[in-house]
Amino acid sequence: MDALIHAADEALRTLFAKPGASRACPTLPADSDGEMSDSERALSGALMRVNHVGEVCAQALYTAQALAARTGPHADESLARHLEAAGREETDHLAWTQQRLDELGARPSVLNPLWYSGAFAIGWVAGKLGPGISLGFVVETERQVEAHLDGHMSRLPAGDQTSRAIVAQMKDDEARHASEAQRAGAKELPAPVRGLMTAAAKVMTTVAHRI
């Protein structure tokens, strides 16, 4: 019951509370950003909205996987703690992207409750398939997110160095999470599963770019 209450609390905090970061947001000198046109600011806002949605989903995935690791006949407290530690760093990303959205005058996705619910369901299933699969899911997710962030680095306007600094730190953290999960005993997911994950991510990023 405690684990369920904690999971519900995490959902409410992610969706309805202002996120707080344990690390300072990556910053640059005040004059690092160049002038941006209205269209460039809109593009930066759309890209950071997609990144914010990704962090909402990350909160749901890690929370669900940690809950799954704490319940049932194969409960694994060490795995749950591992997932929660990674989730706390993802909370930093959530706070940073929210802050940048505010600075750009952009809004989060109105579909965040839907994204969270879907990601939570996927994370729960992955968690219930055992530690190796759960960690393998982390590895594949983080690899895909890293590639996605790399693409955003090339799409952000040249004048938006602040968003670039945030995305660069997020990319480094995602790569480390994947490496840590690999060392913890991740199993490689089958190619069809990886393909489905890519397709689902494409739908989310395409819709979140606009809504």
52 vs 1, 26, 101, CA distance in Å?
Answer: 30, 15, 8
One-letter amino acid for residue 196 of the chain:
L
Distance CA 20, CA 18 (A): 7
Helices (H), the chain: 2-16, 38-70, 77-104, 112-128, 131-155, 161-183, 191-208
Q: Tens digit of pLDDT for each residue in 143-189?
A: 999 999 999 999 999 889 899 999 999 999 999 999 999 998 999 99
In order of start, what are the domains of the chain with their CATH numbers?
Answer: 2-10+52-208 (1.20.1260)
Per-residue pLDDT of 104-151, as tens digits, reads: 999 999 999 999 999 999 999 999 998 999 999 999 999 999 999 999
Structure tokens at 13: 């905090």
Our CA dihedral for 190, 195, 200, 206, rounded to 10 degrees, sits at 150
> Mean pLDDT across the chain, nearest whole number?
89
pTM for the structure as a whole: 0.90
Q: Which of 3-7, 35-39, 105-109 has the lowest mean pLDDT?
A: 3-7
